[in-house]
């Protein structure tokens, strides 16, 4: 049922663009998209923070991006969001900090994601400069005010109601907060703030199997996945789905869905060879035990980057991001396969954390 709900959110967002077309410049084929998230979704916002310790503007990052230039993406090429944007037929939304609030660009999609961010404001504080989730929402509020100044309040509201909101947060709340002994407990975040700003179609990415990322495997003693960490992700995802279902029930017009990233990423980890990979237990850059876990200039990347699921100790590779986007797309019957029905991934039993290699 989760895949059908996700498909409905996407289909509604695409169709709703026709209602906003009269108020904005000619739309692209797909929906205007606003992206909120962490380093898995960051497309360069942190590059604009001079003191940020969560950056990836180094050689090796971007080696498989067009022109081979680092862009602030925490991978060797494109993010999952980049590949999903291609499928929607729209450009990947630019980083918020690259925009001027007086340009027409504010009428299109925007990426607010920031490496180090979490759902809790406390998460990532030791990265010095970054956008917390609260700050990302404040940035969106600035964009909406700029839209109102350009096209008027009513037209801006129609455009925002029609847009697709993608949220990918939570991993850092565990990896860089809950699982760290020196971090205090965070505060509960009020989840309907974006709704109050006009968000109606929201896709929240579930947590992947965090216990299987290279930085966590090294703590197992035998290179295996950490079952208890995967258990946290499973519990979080169940609670997130319950929360979204509740919001759909109580908030008029809300269409919120959970994308099953856990099952998709676990599929690559358990069966890498089925998707063209040879290695899913360690990173291409071999930085699993390195402080920070990033592929710094002095690292030696693997010879075949397309063979590895993970690029560094935390982030999936360009090749994996392409496959993950394909699998997520195929799980949406009304979006993928030209509208043909497909078997939703979420309908199949997710691999148990204890079954992961």
CATH number at residue 288: 3.40.50
- State pTM to two decimals: 0.84
Q: Helix 318-330 to helix 80-88 angle, to the nearest 10 degrees?
A: 50
Boundaries of domain holding 264: 33-331
Residue 227 annotated in active site: no
Q: Give the model's pLDDT for residue 171.
A: 75
For 58, 115, 349, the CA distances from 13, given in Å and listed in that order, are: 36, 27, 28
Is residue 327 in some structural domain? Answer: yes
Is residue 60 in some structural domain? Answer: yes
In this prediction, the residues of the chain whose per-residue pLDDT falls under 50 are 1-28, 181-190, 334-354
Q: Give the model's pLDDT for residue 346.
A: 33
Q: Give the model's pLDDT for residue 248.
A: 94
The total of structural domains in the chain comes to: 1
DSSP output for 30-88: S--EEEEESTTT-SSGGGG-TT-S----STTTTTTSGGG---S-SSSS--HHHHHHHHH
Q: Give the model's pLDDT for residue 175.
A: 66
DSSP output for 231-300: HHHHHHHHHHHHHHHHHHHHSTT-EEEEE-HHHHHHHHHH-GGGGT-SEEEEETT--TTSTT----TT--
The residue annotated as part of the active site, out of 38, 39, 41, 206, is: 39
Residue 220 annotated in active site: no
Is residue 350 in some structural domain? Answer: no
Q: Give the model's pLDDT for residue 337.
A: 36
Q: Give the model's pLDDT for residue 30.
A: 75
Is residue 346 in some structural domain? Answer: no
Is residue 150 in some structural domain? Answer: yes
The residue annotated as part of the active site, out of 315, 317, 318, 334, is: 315
What kind and span of H or E run contains 117? none
Half-sphere exposure of 156 (CA within 13 A, CB side): 18
Q: Give the model's pLDDT for residue 54.
A: 87
Is residue 342 in some structural domain? Answer: no
In angstroms and rounded to an integer, the radius of gyration of the C-alpha atoms of the chain is 19
The residue annotated as part of the active site, out of 38, 288, 312, 318, is: 312
Q: Give the model's pLDDT for residue 145.
A: 97
Q: Give the model's pLDDT for residue 265.
A: 96
298 neighbors 275 (Cβ within 8 angstroms): no
Q: Give the model's pLDDT for residue 193.
A: 84
Residue 52 annotated in active site: no
Q: Give the model's pLDDT for residue 124.
A: 76
Is residue 345 in some structural domain? Answer: no
Is residue 138 in some structural domain? Answer: yes
Q: Give the model's pLDDT for residue 173.
A: 65
CA angle 93, 98, 99 (to 5 degrees): 80
Written as six digits, the tokens of 290 are 């390195």
What kind and span of H or E run contains 167? strand 164-168
């Amino acid at each position: 049922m989760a895949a059908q709900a996700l498909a409905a959110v996407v289909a509604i967002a695409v169709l709703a663009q026709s209602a906003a077309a009269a108020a904005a410049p000619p739309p692209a084929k797909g929906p205007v998209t606003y992206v909120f998230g962490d380093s898995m979704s960051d497309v360069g916002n942190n590059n604009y923070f001079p003191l940020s310790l969560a950056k990836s503007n180094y050689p090796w990052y971007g080696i498989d991006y067009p022109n081979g230039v680092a862009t602030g993406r925490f991978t060797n090429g494109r993010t999952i969001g980049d590949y999903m944007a291609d499928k929607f037929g729209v450009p990947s939304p630019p980083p918020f900090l690259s925009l001027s609030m007086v340009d027409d660009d504010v009428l299109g999609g925007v990426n607010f994601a920031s490496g180090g961010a979490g759902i809790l404001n406390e998460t990532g504080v030791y990265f010095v400069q970054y956008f917390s989730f609260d700050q990302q929402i404040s940035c969106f509020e600035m964009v909406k005010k700029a839209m109102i100044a350009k096209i008027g309040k009513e037209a801006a509201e129609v455009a925002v109601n029609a847009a697709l909101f993608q949220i990918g947060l939570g991993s850092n709340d565990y990896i860089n907060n809950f699982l760290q002994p020196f971090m205090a407990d965070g505060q509960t975040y009020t989840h309907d703030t974006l709704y109050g700003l006009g968000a109606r179609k929201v896709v929240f990415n579930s947590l992947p199997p965090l216990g299987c990322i290279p930085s966590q495997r090294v703590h197992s003693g035998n290179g295996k996945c950490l079952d208890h960490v995967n258990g946290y992700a499973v519990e979080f995802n169940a609670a997130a789905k319950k929360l979204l279902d509740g919001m759909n029930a109580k908030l008029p017009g809300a269409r919120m869905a959970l994308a099953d990233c856990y099952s998709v990423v676990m599929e690559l980890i358990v069966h890498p060879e089925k998707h063209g990979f040879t290695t899913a237990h360690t990173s291409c850059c071999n930085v699993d035990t390195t402080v920070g876990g990033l592929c710094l200039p002095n690292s030696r990347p693997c010879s075949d980057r397309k063979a590895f699921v993970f690029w560094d100790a935390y982030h999936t590779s360009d090749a994996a991001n392409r496959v993950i986007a394909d699998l997520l797309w195929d799980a949406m019957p009304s979006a993928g396969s030209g509208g043909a029905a497909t078997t939703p991934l979420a309908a199949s039993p997710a691999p148990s954390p204890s079954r992961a290699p």
